[in-house]
Structure 1
Amino acid sequence: MSSHPLPAKKGYDPRQRDRPNQKREEATDASLAVILFHPGPNALPADAQTSDALTGQVTSAEEGPMEGVLVSAKKAGSTLTVTVVSDQQGRYRFPRAKLEPGQYSLRIRAVGYELNGRAAADITPQNTATADLKLRKTQNLAFQLTNAEWIASVPGTDQQKTSLLNCLGCHTLERVVRSSYDATGFMQILQRMATYANQSTPLHPQRRLAERALEQRGEERQQAQRQQAEFLSAINLSSSSTWEFPLKTLPRPQGRATRVVVTEYDLPRPTIEPHDVIVDSDGMAWYGNFGEQTIGRLDPKTARVTEYPVPELKRGWPTGMLSLRPDREGSLWLGLMYQGAVAKFDRKTEKFQIWSLPPELNKDNTQINMTSPLHYAVDGKLWTQNNGIAAVHRLDLASGKFETFEPFKGSTKTHNIYDVIADSQNNVYFTEFANEHIGRIDAKSGMIILYPTPTPRSAPRRGMMDAQDRLWFAEYRGNRIAMFDTRAERFQEWVAPTAWSAPYDVAVDKNGEAWTGSMVSDRILRLDPKTGQWTEYLLPRSTNIRRVFVDNSTTPVTFWVGSNHGASIIKLEPLD
């Protein structure tokens, strides 16, 4: 982590808020000519010309050759952006298979720097184009910071900074620190924010119809909101025209983290929120729309997107879905959230089958987020949960009847059952996001056991069960990923290498490596559990990462994730 003094203001107002879903392409000087880079006949050796479509060196006056600069290329009129990373010599290379012939615009990501003028490249079928990129120091460092860098920069205790993680589900922290609200103004904002559904964004806000049963209320809530309002008004621009603290930045990628190709597929509308992305056996990428009543299919070869409308069962309630998980036959299962139901989508017939909660359970605060369909064939029953009442439901697929398990019934404390994940015998494990518990419900007896994680207040969020019945999950507030061996009843935790990574989910690949993504730092994290070695891949732009998925059919494996606030799907291909 490095610290930078605030740059002098030149032509921008730090009070100006960021626009939601804005793609932050680096600022360029309009007075500079657009530079077109054409292939030279003797620019590179013949073997390089056959393997690379575009190459070049990234340099700056301050550093000379620059490692870890993300270089992105987008063809005119295309919905695809391809990104590579410069190596230790500052050289970047686009494989020929990744760029078809045509005219491309280029942009970079390197915190503290921007392109010294616009850059473009003309890609031809045979030769290798060359584009050497000169960078200059940015005059607007604040515009480039990730949420993690803002959290690291602002003054405050760890407890105060942890409260900022609650802001990231709907918008960036930049909106907060650029605001000018005092504590009184923030109290009104926080009270209003509490009425929005968790899939809200600035482009598509949605109101809750009722509060969750087991969450803060009364004076306890008022006190928490007052404390947060005072903290937020101390780190924004309410008393000054500029920030009174240095801006801190994270280091650029190095070594193994530069050996990667990232492809980003734009989706048809900016309001699409691809919360969960998975890849089926045919290589198609499917996404659930967190804010709208649709799911979608992306063909990675053609970039064509097909959308399927999901039935709206409770008009007037918030729309959207959270989990998207396959069963062993390849059908897709969804939790329809405030619509109060579970859905199954048959990929072959392209038809939905719906199971709604009965009226006595289908209340204003009902929120069915997750399903666990992988092992329902064991007993014909599907596990799901209800965030509105901190409960777990079990659906008998033959009869359509629901059973309800309430581990925290009667509690006066805040509880939030986030994910449900079944083992090979269809016993279910759940994550308790408000605190630090992993829970187990025995499929035969219904007995409930709670296991506290080694890290207090770790906020277990989402995860997966591996073939050995080991539960892998992310600890959002604990800044860790963890594994719970369900047979030995033993935990193991790994601390993320970067502070305030706040991992959301975990996927384990065929090689035993664990992958997670940060909602906060725009980084994909790869862990070798045997050695404890981490690799962090930086993504090309601000990415609100949620569910993570690894496609094990490729070698090396391929990582997929949705940009939940950026209306795009991201494919990350490590080169080793």
Structure 2
Amino acid sequence: MPKIFLLLLFCGLAHAQALSGRVSSAEEGAMEGVLVSAKAAGSSVTITVVSDAQGRYSFPASRLQPGTYSLGIRAVGYELGGPATATVLPQGTAIDLHLGKTSNLAAQLTNAEWIASVPGTHSQKRTLLNCVGCHTLERVVRSTHDSAGFVQTLQRMAGYANQSTPLRPQRRLADRDRELIGEERARFQREQAEWLSAINLSSGPSWRFALQSLLRPSGRGTRVIITEYDLPRPTIEPHDVVVDADGIAWYSDFGDQSIGKLDPKSGKVTEYPVPELKKGWPTGLLSLRFDREQNLWAGMMYQGAIARLDRKSGKLQLWSIPPELNKANTQINMTSPLHFAVDGKLWTQNNGFAAVHRIDLASGKWETFEPFKDSKRNHNIYDVIADSKNNVYFTDFANEHIGRIDAKSGKITLYPTPTPGSSPRRGMMDAQDRLWFAEYRGNRIGLFDPATERFQEWEAPTAWSAPYDIALDRNGEAWTGSMLSDRILRLDPKSGRFVEYLLPRPTNIRRVFVDNSATPLAFWVGSNHGASIIKLEPLD
């Protein structure tokens, strides 16, 4: 491995730059799109910038105070070779970074790069999208299971709750009602096991396919500053992150009974415990959304309830699902609280048996709507999003439907997306009551206009991006994140052009949020498997 040289030039730099330099390698010369990260000793905050077309990187003086910092880089195929440190002086410090080729490319690949690398049909590769919610695909391809061993593994994996990670696995107590069952499931597992055993290391010490990597960021994708805030424990799973009017970031813990609060100025984290209502069932919260007063509403998943946290007083209020609906597979993931003041009713859903619920908050009465009760197909109602009149729209993650329930009549209407099997996942309403949503298996951003009943779709520029959620900014651009490639996507709907930003480390992106009050505007996301919260600020 080439030795790494750090050229320290303590010269009279402009005061606007605390740390700057040039990134290069013997193979490429000046390198664009290399992420350079700096973290002060004892700090929980990491700052990252990206090198430009001339290989130059620079940290503004406002982001790095004088002191000692550890340095890191992200550039697939390259590495620094060992820890690097820099002393930032009051007058500025320059460090040129010389990178060497990595001897372990496989350890650097994202899930999207593994899917691109392995041989197989598109249908076979799509099955891997079911795996990445809990663990990396590197675990799969490095395994040595034969087909029979994989069948046993798949059967075991099917019993884990969706908030499981290798650090904290949790078992489900029952299957969802509308999942594959019986021989149909067994046949699917046998077919998948046969394919998986052909792409792992069961037949030898090396893979029989070439490893493929994505291009590094370029152009506008390099004009960004990224700030990452570590959370106190590695088991915290910040699934949803939202930022209030005071600039405080709030998050739901996907694996535990807790709502967290991060003060970005101090880095202080405060946790608000949420009661465990069903002992023995999986713990954790999923959605976290504001109402009009910026109180927080959370879906308590397998605990069979929703929670409201008054962000000023810290008071918590719960609404439990009625006993006749509180089944072993009940899973209340989402709420849509923005417009409940219209009629005093809050929409939620039930992932356990593909239902939508509406709660009268004053009386506590729950209503149930089952759009797919008589369907023989697999369905999964994932998100619920209310419009300004508190009509609700829902996404059918198992197929390709956007559904609507009229708040007054209860009428249910289904609209299939133009892309079959698109798996619409999460979304939001814009000011015109148009629904924006992410198409996880369709690899697209979708827009549905109820006034015309027409769809628009924009395909992500990188294969296997698998977007999870959508957020709109004040300029009319749509933002999403990839669960597989560690990339943030920014779409200009008028031109159809995307900008992609790479994050500093594996992230497993879920809910996305844009703080439109910030200057520049700020994109926030939780590192669901990395126990951190990330703020991305575009510089254009």
Does TM-score exceed 0.5, indicating one fold?
A: yes
Q: Deviations over 1:91-145 (max 9, x none)?
A: 0000111112211010101011111554211113x31111100001111110110
Structure 1: distance between partners of 2:216 and 2:5: 27
Structure 2: distance between partners of 1:538 and 1:166: 23
1:40 aligns with 2:40: no
5 Å-filtered alignment, 1:387-466, equals 387-466=351-430
> Does the Cα contact within 8 Å between 2:443 and 2:467 map onto a contact in 1?
yes
Structure 2: distance between partners of 1:502 and 1:445: 35
Structure 1: distance between partners of 2:205 and 2:82: 29
2:139 corresponds in structure 1 to 175
Q: Deviations over 1:415-437 (max 9, x none)?
A: 10000000010000000000000
2:34 to 69, 76, 88: 69
1:166 aligns with 2:136: no
5 Å-filtered alignment, 1:31-430, equals 37=8, 40-42=10-12, 44=13, 48=14, 50-124=15-89, 126-430=90-394
Number of aligned residue pairs: give it.
Answer: 540
Structure 2: distance between partners of 1:104 and 1:517: 29
- Quote how far apart the aligned CAs of 1:497 are: 0.2
Identical counterparts, % of pairs: 74
Which AA in structure 1 matches 2:525? V
5 Å-filtered alignment, 1:460-475, equals 460-475=424-439
- Quote how far apart the aligned CAs of 1:35 are: 5.8
**SS of equivalent to 2:382:** strand
Q: Deviations over 1:232-257 (max 9, x none)?
A: 11100000110010000100010100
Structure 1: distance between partners of 2:159 and 2:68: 47
> Does the Cα contact within 8 Å between 1:57 and 1:91 map onto a contact in 2?
yes
> Does the Cα contact within 8 Å between 1:209 and 1:317 map onto a contact in 2?
yes
1:6 corresponds in structure 2 to none
**SS of equivalent to 1:225:** helix
Structure 2: distance between partners of 1:117 and 1:330: 45
1:117–1:312 CA distance, 2 compared to 1 (3 A): closer
> Does the Cα contact within 8 Å between 2:307 and 2:317 map onto a contact in 1?
yes
1:518 to 482, 507, 520: 482
Moved over 3 A (4+): 32-37
> Does the Cα contact within 8 Å between 1:34 and 1:118 map onto a contact in 2?
no
Runs of 5+ in structure 2 lacking a partner? none
Q: Deviations over 1:440-479 (max 9, x none)?
A: 0000000000000000000000000011001000000000
Structure 1: distance between partners of 2:383 and 2:459: 21
Q: Deviations over 1:32-75 (max 9, x none)?
A: 799694x6244x3xxx2x10100010010111110000000011
> Does the Cα contact within 8 Å between 1:383 and 1:428 map onto a contact in 2?
yes
Q: Which stretch of structure 1 is more off in the superposition, 481-490 or 442-451? A: 481-490
Q: Deviations over 1:383-413 (max 9, x none)?
A: 0000001000000011000000000113232
**SS of equivalent to 1:220:** helix
Runs of 5+ in structure 1 lacking a partner? 1-27
Structure 1: distance between partners of 2:116 and 2:196: 14
> Does the Cα contact within 8 Å between 2:11 and 2:94 map onto a contact in 1?
no
**SS of equivalent to 2:325:** coil
RMSD: 1.2
> Does the Cα contact within 8 Å between 1:33 and 1:118 map onto a contact in 2?
no
> Does the Cα contact within 8 Å between 2:508 and 2:528 map onto a contact in 1?
yes
> Does the Cα contact within 8 Å between 2:424 and 2:438 map onto a contact in 1?
yes
1:13 corresponds in structure 2 to none
**SS of equivalent to 1:360:** helix
Structure 2: distance between partners of 1:247 and 1:357: 48
- Quote how far apart the aligned CAs of 1:319 are: 0.3
> Does the Cα contact within 8 Å between 1:36 and 1:120 map onto a contact in 2?
no
- Quote how far apart the aligned CAs of 1:487 are: 1.5
Structure 2: distance between partners of 1:337 and 1:116: 43
